Homo-oligomer: A and B are copies of this chain.
């Protein structure tokens, strides 16, 4: 496994593999890899000739008050995980090379898909995500790119972008990987104190309670939303950012759950903002 630190080298390596008709699978990450990433990497490894994992904490997707500087970083550990999983290349470019002086072109994703859920409190976040992905896709030219369903809004927006921009890339969404107690794996979980870590189980728990009443026959979004909110609010360190029930295809709020209904939540546990979701189909 090789760590590649410059755009030109990564480009020429990928170009050379492509010209030999090798299939390239890419897993774009901000590093601090956990089992969620590992499952993406395994999926990529199983279905491609060459696997590239990018490890890049992308400044353009952090807001001014967000945790860019403190976002956890550990390239050595990440590289070791990638090596063990049979990754061919870790792409770890410098932020100054990715966004040099004078950098000024951005991708603005679907307004309808960004003015809801995480887009509300994180203006510009998905613009940063789409911009860095456009760059990474142009550098690596993957056949397949792997994203976790935990960031379900990101997955939907990226799929839309790839379709709209005619990128020849399959975007593959992979299942959420959870801790034994149900908490979705996230690099940000490392911020949690022991007490907060226990509280954090409320995200999954609250969604399951919502799904329970759906199974019992409830269809009204309001009732489902209420039980989710009550469950979260009962947890001392938890503060709701949003609890939304949407049509997954249109991202419009729905009055009743039906086919492809997305339940998505964001909750602050102490100062750490965590997300979770589930798609329900009746």
Q: Which A residues form the contact surface with B (CB < 8 A)?
A: 7, 11, 15, 19, 21, 102-113, 130, 134-135, 138-139, 160-161, 164-168
Which B residues lie within 8 Å of A102 (CB)? 160
Query: Which residue of chain B is the closest to A161 with respect to CB atoms?
Result: B105
Q: How many copies does the complex hold?
A: 2
Which B residues lie within 8 Å of A161 (CB)? 105
Query: Which residue of chain B is the closest to A111 with respect to CB atoms?
Result: B104
A11 with B108, Cβ < 8 A, contacts A19-B19, A19-B21, A21-B19 known: no
Choose one: B11, B21, B167; the contact of A168 (CB below 8 Å): B11
A104-B111, A105-B108, A138-B165 given. 16 additional CB < 8 A pairs? A7-B166, A11-B166, A11-B168, A19-B21, A102-B160, A103-B164, A104-B110, A104-B164, A105-B160, A105-B161, A105-B165, A106-B107, A107-B107, A135-B164, A138-B166, A138-B167
Query: Which residue of chain B is the closest to A169 with respect to CB atoms?
Result: B138
CA distance A160 to B109 in the complex (A): 20
A247 smallest CB distance to B (angstroms): 13
Query: Which residue of chain B is the closest to A104 with respect to CB atoms?
Result: B110
Which B residues lie within 8 Å of A168 (CB)? 11, 15, 138
Which B residues lie within 8 Å of A19 (CB)? 19, 21
Choose one: B108, B112, B135, B166; the contact of A165 (CB below 8 Å): B135
Which B residues lie within 8 Å of A15 (CB)? 168
Which B residues lie within 8 Å of A7 (CB)? 166
A168 smallest CB distance to B (angstroms): 6
A39 smallest CB distance to B (angstroms): 27
A130 with B110, Cβ < 8 A, contacts A138-B165, A166-B138, A167-B138 known: no
CA distance A161 to B108 in the complex (A): 14
Query: Which residue of chain B is the closest to A7 with respect to CB atoms?
Result: B166
A161 smallest CB distance to B (angstroms): 5
Of all A-B residue pairs in the complex, the 10 with the closest CB atoms, nearest first, are: A104-B110, A105-B164, A138-B166, A105-B161, A135-B166, A106-B108, A139-B166, A108-B108, A105-B109, A134-B165
